[in-house]
Amino acid sequence: MKVYNFAAGPSMLAEEVKLTAQRDFLNYNGSGMSVTEMSHRSAVYENIHNEAQSLLRELMHIGDNYHVLFLQGGASMQFEAVPLNLLHTKADYVVTGNFAAKAASEAQKYGDVAVIASSKDKNHTYIPDVDKLVTREGADYLHITGNNTIFGTRYTKLPKVAAPLVADMSSMILSEEIDVNQFALIYAGAQKNIAPAGLTLVIVKKDIINRPQSICPTMLRYSTQAEANSLYNTPPCFAIYMAMLTFRWLKNMGGVPAIQKINEYKAGLLYDFIDNSSFYKNPVQKEYRSLMNVPFTTPSPELDKKFTAEAEKSGLVAIGGHRSVGGMRASIYNAMPVEGVKTLIDFMKKFELANR
Ligand SMILES: *Cc1c(COP(=O)(O)O)cnc(C)c1O
């Protein structure tokens, strides 16, 4: 049976990427070795490392004034690394979901942190008006979460504030065009849109990383990995290789503008279907709807459970909502084909007919 994986992360990778990795698994590029067993100091691995980096720079139009770092520890470790490197006096946060709240509460350990806006009052079904955001005088940065994986919201407009912008883009990186120059730092776990778990990307302005807090561990200092081309210690070589294959795949299909069109089409199909139905509902204010994570419910929690179980049996797997919101959530990242979304909508139609 053909399976479509709607998991929020780790999530689907492109078929072509997996086939290439499979073909080359035992013998990469005539080396007689698998990437999984190669020295990270070997020339053959270094080519992978550098190609992955330059492809990401090309795809996101990242200028020479930024470092591109390949790290470990997940986006969650960046909740600490960001303040440890960039927080000198105070930092401001916008809380638009669980991950944003975690980022703010970790940062509180390392300095004066203020939550200057939150969407908690309406269970994170919207993004606070960015035009009304004002950062505190002298704030070192403003932290936002570009796409809220659990609640299915996203920033469709960026705040124009005095403080430099830091963004967690774990669940939206490479899904739509963004202007990197608007950000001081962008970070993302790779396991949503790029590669298997284990790799975390950090894109950071070169001129802001040289004043970490004195307590910042060597391994969490951006300067440590920047000076070593992310080879200070053993990097997650295989995940970086898979990222390189995903970047090649994306470039071949026309880059971010091309995948953005497809993503808008896929999300549009699903939201239109939900909006035209009296059976299914999506709680998010329309202008803030995510292109990547689409939460929805049926008329009752019992039917939600039944939906999730029957979907799983039909090959539409991992579509249950996050435990904090319930219902369902279809994560439709870059690698989810249009066919997967159409198959889901067909299933939703049948389920409604049988259960209304
Ligand atoms: C998944 C996710 C995280 C957590 O990522 P880890 O790599 O598991 O630490 C953080 N922020 C956002 C927006 C996410 O989607």
Output the ligand 1 site: residues, CB below 6 A: 9, 74-76, 99, 145, 149, 168, 170-171, 189, 192
* Ligand 1 centre distance from Cα of residue 244 (Å): 20
* Ligand 1 centre distance from Cα of residue 188 (Å): 7
- Under 8 Å between Cβ of 330 and 270: yes
Q: What is the DSSP letter of 289?
A: B
pLDDT digits (tens, 9 = 90+) for 250-293: 999 999 999 999 999 999 999 999 999 999 999 999 999 999 99
How confident is the model at residue 127, as a pLDDT? 98
Q: How many helices (H) and strands (E) does the chain have?
A: 9, 13
- Identify the CA nearest to 335 among candidates 107, 63, 13: 13
* Ligand 1 centre distance from Cα of residue 196 (Å): 13
Position 309, amino acid:
A
How confident is the model at residue 10, as a pLDDT? 97
> Which atom number of ligand 1 is nearest to the Cα of residue 146?
13
In this prediction, residue 1 has a pLDDT band, given cuts at 50, 70 and 90, of confident
- Under 8 Å between Cβ of 92 and 118: no
How confident is the model at residue 193, as a pLDDT? 96
pLDDT digits (tens, 9 = 90+) for 342-354: 999 999 999 999 9
- Under 8 Å between Cβ of 197 and 189: yes
Please check the confidence at residue 302 and state whether its pLDDT lies above 90.
Answer: yes
Q: What is the DSSP letter of 212?
A: -
- Identify the CA nearest to 324 among candidates 50, 98, 90: 98
* Ligand 1 pocket mutation pick from 72, 144, 149, 293 by most atoms within 8 angstroms of CB: 149
How many residues does this entry show for the chain? Answer: 356
* Ligand 1 centre distance from Cα of residue 43 (Å): 32
Structure token pair of residue 110: 């390392």
Q: Rounded CA gap, 283 and 16, in Å?
A: 35
pLDDT digits (tens, 9 = 90+) for 64-98: 999 999 999 999 999 999 999 999 999 999 999 99
Position 318, amino acid:
A
* Ligand 1 pocket mutation pick from 71, 72, 99 by most atoms within 8 angstroms of CB: 99
List, in order of start, the domains of the chain with CATH numbers.
Answer: 4-12+254-355 (3.90.1150.10), 15-252 (3.40.640.10)
* Ligand 1 pocket mutation pick from 93, 170, 322 by most atoms within 8 angstroms of CB: 170
- Identify the CA nearest to 269 among candidates 197, 340, 204: 340
Mean pLDDT of the chain: 97
Please check the confidence at residue 198 and state whether its pLDDT lies above 90.
Answer: yes
- Under 8 Å between Cβ of 161 and 134: yes
In this prediction, residue 325 has a pLDDT band, given cuts at 50, 70 and 90, of confident
pLDDT digits (tens, 9 = 90+) for 89-138: 999 999 999 999 999 999 999 999 999 999 999 999 999 999 999 999 99
Strand pairing category for 316-317 and 4-5: parallel
Please check the confidence at residue 178 and state whether its pLDDT lies above 90.
Answer: yes
For ligand 1, atom 5, the nearest C-alpha belongs to 75
CA atoms within 13 A on the CB side of 229: 11
